Structure 1
């Protein structure tokens, strides 16, 4: 399914926790640094896997809200897995919380503005992640991101 399993979410003594499956592999930025880039065929396959994973997340009514290359692990079998659901939540509950959460370089304009978010916000981030997969570069410079925030 291309998504890291979440086992438990809760709070103990006022501290929140998230228990996720351990995925043995490299995060996308580390892998790109190591291999230097992907063939077109490999990039298309990774893109397909990430689309399938994000679709499964959204079909479950969940928004990731921090979809970025560091939250994609390529496991030992070469399969892309979406991880880190630390600020994710049910779409019905968080879509209108006006919380600016996420990584600015991969946040949608509505997230940056603190406005309503939806699955489209994750899809925007997916586009930026795919840009990184296909080009090896970040879509926006740090200066451009900081001027928008």
Structure 2
């Protein structure tokens, strides 16, 4: 565990929140990372849909961070709006790398907490994981950013069973049907990424 933590601490990238290590008390363990002084995407999701141009700005930064992780043989696997922050200078950071896992890992998630709203089908099925898992999660998040709806075209479900079914069985509505301001080619690209990643 300590060797893995040291490898993650060594990852440095302008779009990754620096991981500081594992802190343990007699009863609890914490993954520590630097504080980013600025809002997370959670606040942005509470507003209206963002434009395709703005979405591409976030995409470029997050993809750059994921590429750096993937080159080090790690997967993020927990992409979520609360882990993406924008500082006072407008710089975008992906946090949560302390929980990253090796590529080709097979992970069993506790059923009382997971699945996460942005988990990939491979995560939900307990299959071997690849960079495609992170790309799927990012596409699901961008769908929400540009439509103000979850991938079912409505509000996110409240139960794990419904979340799982949506990721595995349902076809998301085309983003352009929910936000007419999205260019058609962007809508098709986003839908294709979420379905094929």
Instruction: Report TM bin, short chain.
Output: 0.7 to 0.9
Q: Which residue of 2 aligns with 1:82?
A: 94
Number of aligned residue pairs: give it.
145
Larger Rg: 2
Deviations 1:30-52 (A, max 9, x none): 12324x23233222211111111
Deviations 1:53-107 (A, max 9, x none): 1111211222111112221112222222111235323336xx13x3226643211
* Unaligned residue ranges in structure 1 (runs of 5+): none
Quick check: 1:69 aligned with 2:81? yes
Give the structure, 1 or 2, with the largest relative contact order (CA under 8 Å, sep 6 or more): 1
Rounded to whole Å, the distance in 2 between the matches of 1:14 and 1:7 is 20
What TM-score, normalized to structure 1?
0.81
* Unaligned residue ranges in structure 2 (runs of 5+): 1-13, 169-197
**Alpha-carbon offset, residue 21 of structure 1:** 0.6
**Alpha-carbon offset, residue 12 of structure 1:** 4.8
Q: Secondary structure at the match of 1:26?
A: coil
Quick check: 1:49 aligned with 2:49? no
Higher strand share: 1
Rounded to whole Å, the distance in 2 between the matches of 1:62 and 1:78 is 26
**Alpha-carbon offset, residue 138 of structure 1:** 1.5
Tell me if the contact between 2:16 and 2:65 (Cα under 8 Å) persists in the aligned partners: yes
What TM-score, normalized to structure 2?
0.63
